[in-house]
């Protein structure tokens, strides 16, 4: 079995079993293969390929409702904005509040860290720019950017159609 095919099979098994420890080890091994140029096995190729009937590995983990696995894949650099054959992103496959909150939490974390690239990926994936951090505080990413992030992040979110009149209640 070729190295890439074996890597994908093992990663899929780890995702299906909910084994984030094994998943992380396998992704780390992909990084080592990348450095050794083993059969063009790269972390980016593994994370962005449409390897499952659902789409990417992130699509699969989301559909299976594995929040810890989704977090691990996002941490590894999986792009939540990639579409499957049906045009759905992993965010579109989020069937529970728990799964949606994984992506929302990632949006707020990226906003606070002024990670414009990740924020753009998450917005392109289908998250609303005016989503709330919680029903109680009702802070949007723009609120977070104004409090924790750079001016560039505030501008990025403003351009993303965030209304200027947003205010936390």
Domain CATH for 75? 1.25.40.20
Q: For residues 51 and 77, what is the distance between their CA atoms, to the nearest angstrom?
A: 16
Shared-domain flag, residues 37 and 100: no
Q: CB within 8 A of 38, min separation 6: which ones?
A: 3
Output the pLDDT for position 155: 87
Domain boundary among 80, 113, 133: 80
* Spans of the chain below 50 pLDDT: 36, 162-169
The single residue listed with the structure tokens 């209640």 is 169
Shared-domain flag, residues 130 and 74: no
Shared-domain flag, residues 2 and 76: yes
Domain boundary among 80, 108, 137: 80
Output the pLDDT for position 38: 54
Domain span at residue 62 reads 1-80
Domain count, the chain: 2
Shared-domain flag, residues 53 and 2: yes
Q: How many CB atoms lie within 10 A of CB 163?
A: 11
Q: For residues 128 and 62, what is the distance between their CA atoms, to the nearest angstrom?
A: 18
pTM: 0.85
Q: For residues 169 and 158, what is the distance between their CA atoms, to the nearest angstrom?
A: 19
pLDDT tens for each residue of 56-72: 999 999 999 999 999 99
Look at residue 153 and tell me if it is in a domain. yes
Output the pLDDT for position 4: 81
Q: How many CB atoms lie within 10 A of CB 122?
A: 28
Shared-domain flag, residues 72 and 113: no
Look at residue 102 and tell me if it is in a domain. yes
Look at residue 134 and tell me if it is in a domain. yes
Shared-domain flag, residues 31 and 57: yes
Output the pLDDT for position 166: 47
């Amino acid at each position: 079995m070729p190295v890439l095919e074996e890597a994908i099979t093992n990663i899929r098994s780890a995702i299906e079993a909910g084994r984030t420890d094994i998943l992380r080890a396998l992704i780390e091994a992909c990084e080592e293969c990348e450095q050794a140029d083993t059969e063009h096995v790269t972390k980016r190729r593994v994370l962005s390929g449409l390897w499952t009937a659902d789409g990417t590995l992130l699509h699969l983990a989301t559909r299976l409702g594995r929040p810890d696995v989704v977090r691990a894949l996002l941490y590894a650099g999986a792009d939540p904005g990639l579409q499957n054959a049906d045009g759905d992103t992993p965010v579109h496959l989020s069937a529970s509040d728990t799964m949606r909150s994984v992506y929302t939490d990632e949006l707020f974390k990226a906003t606070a860290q002024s990670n414009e690239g990740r924020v753009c990926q998450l917005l392109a994936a289908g998250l609303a720019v005016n989503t709330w951090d919680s029903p109680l505080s009702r802070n949007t990413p723009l609120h977070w950017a104004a409090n924790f992030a750079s001016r560039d992040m505030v501008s990025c979110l403003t351009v993303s159609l965030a209304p200027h009149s947003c205010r936390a209640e």
